[in-house]
Structure formats: C-alpha cells, structure tokens
Amino acid sequence: MAVWLDLNSLSRDNLHRQATSLHQLMDNVRDYYASNVVARVQSAEGSPEARHDYHNIPGAYPIPATAAIELSERFSDALRGVEYRFVSEHPFVGRPKDEMSVFEIRALAQFRDPENTETRVFEDSGDLLDHRLILASPVRMQAACVDCHNAHPDSPKTDWKIGDVRGLQVVNVRQPLSLNLSSFKFLLGYLCVAGVFGVAFALHQLRLAANFRTANDELAENNTFLADVSLKISKYLEPQVYRSIFEGERDVAISTERKKLTVFFSDIKDFTATTERMQPEELTKLLN
C-alpha cells in the first residue's frame, strides 16, 4: 500500500513537473524567437517575410507560432508520452482547424473571462496504470502579433487587440505504469525478495503449528485416558497409597516392606444368611 501511494504521488508530481517545464520551455523558445529572430530580421532593410506557410515561399521564415508548433512536434517525438498542441479557434486559411476537447473549450472560456486571474489550468485523469495530465495556458496577442494578424490576408479575424486570448498552449503528458515502476525498481526488488522469504517463513510456521496441534491432540487424548485409569484405580487403593503412586513418591513394584501395622477384622452381622436370600446384583449394590 505504501509503495502504491508513493508511486501515485510520484507520478502526479512528475506529470506536473514535466508539463510545467515543457510549457515554460515553449514560452521561452517562442519569446526568444519572436524578439531575437523575427524582430531583428523584420527591422533589417529588404528582409524576408515571416509567414505561416513559409515552406511554399522561397526565402520566407516561420512566424513564432508556427515555429513553436513545429518545434513542439519534434519535442513530442523525442519525449515519450509528451504531446504539445497550439489550439486556436481562428487558424490561418489553409491550416487545418483544431478539434477542441471539452476541457480546452472550458479553459478558453475561463481565460477570456475578464475576472479570471488564473494563468494555467490542469486536468488530471486516469490512474496509476495510465496517468494523464493536461496543462492549458492562454496565448495572448502581442503588439507585433496584432499588426500581423489584422493585416494578413489569410487571417480569418482582423479585429484583434493587444492582450486578446488568441488560443491555447496545451501540454498533454502521459505516464504509463512502466515508467512509474522503473523509479522503484530497487525497492520493488527488495520487497519481492523479502516477500519470498516472508512467505517461506510463514509456510514453515504453519507446518510447525500443524505438528504442534497434532502433538497437543495426542497429549490431550493420553491425559484423558490416564485420568480415567487413575480414577478407576483409586477405587481399589487406599488414598495414601494412591496419592503416593500418582505423585511419584512410591514406585509401582512388587517388593517387601516391614512396617508396624494394626490389623482390624470386622464382619457384617448375619451376612451369610442375608446373602443366601439376595441376588448377586442386589448384594453388590448393598455392599457399595
């Protein structure tokens, strides 16, 4: 149970850390590209044009959003279980429109709420066998982005303002069970070895307990038999003799001992005449 809870906590922490790190990385890459590449190139005389469809235009280079999307695809291929998406309701003409999930639609509405102060929203789903975490953050329009989108012929929306939420930057991190277990391989190995020894010890104890039970049953049976025999013998021996034998003070052996005795002979009056008139059973009962 402790290992299971630790794995669950470790998986959740790792997912949050990975999603947050990739989100910050993409923000830094996009900001760096926009300020140190696009801005510098555009300020030069006779500079090439930054376009989303730069592949089809010789000398053109990608806009920051396109560069981030293409870089994220490479990051997703290199990082197992990590997916990056740039979701927008208003993609440029020629670019496929993204199918937004319920979580992304809800996050987009939340970020566009003027009273909202959150800059990130999370959705945690799945379990330890296949844990998933989705991080969504808003992509807001900057001054350069507003000028480009409002003037670009392929832009479906031309009334953007600075600070408007253009879309979402979504990081989807998935961590299967194999990655969680690999973090605890030494502890799990120790638990397996300890478990094997524990099971073997328990089985050994069970066998000993069964042997003890059998011996106790036999001993109880013998004690019951001896108690019955001693009770029967006590009727034919004097109390002193009986106690001395069963308490171990006297050995049961045929031997000669010299003692000073007082012998008392007694007779039952008219016993002979009485027995002649009685059956054996009645006589036994009378004597007893």
Of the three residues 182, 200, 224, the one that is the final residue of a domain is: 182
48 and 175 assigned to the same domain: yes
115 and 96 assigned to the same domain: yes
Of the three residues 163, 182, 201, the one that is the final residue of a domain is: 182
CATH number at 87 reads 3.30.450
Instruction: Report the amino acid identity of residue 70.
Output: E
Banded model confidence at residue 220, pLDDT cuts 50, 70, 90: very high
Q: What percent of the chain has pLDDT over 70?
A: 91
| Distance from C-alpha of 121 to C-alpha of 136, rounded to nearest angstrom | 5
Average pLDDT for 207-212? 94
208 and 265 assigned to the same domain: yes
Banded model confidence at residue 184, pLDDT cuts 50, 70, 90: low
| Distance from C-alpha of 127 to C-alpha of 150, rounded to nearest angstrom | 44
Q: What is the pLDDT of residue 180?
A: 57
135 and 108 assigned to the same domain: yes
215 and 172 assigned to the same domain: no
79 and 168 assigned to the same domain: yes
pLDDT at 62 over 90: no
Expressed as residue numbers, the domain containing 228 is 185-287
Q: Residue 131's closest CA among 7, 22, 20?
A: 7
Q: Residue 136's closest CA among 174, 95, 84?
A: 84
211 and 69 assigned to the same domain: no
123 and 233 assigned to the same domain: no
Mean of per-residue pLDDT scores for the chain: 80
Q: Residue 171's closest CA among 261, 275, 87?
A: 87
Number of domain units in the chain: 2
Which has more pLDDT, 119 or 183? Answer: 119
pLDDT at 172 over 60: yes
225 and 108 assigned to the same domain: no
Half-sphere exposure of 187 (CA within 13 A, CB side): 10
Is residue 136 within 8 A of residue 76, CB to CB? The reply is no
23 and 97 assigned to the same domain: yes
Widest CA span of the chain, in angstroms?
157
The token duo for 38 is: 């696009």
Q: Residue 52's closest CA among 40, 39, 64?
A: 64
pTM: 0.53
275 and 215 assigned to the same domain: yes
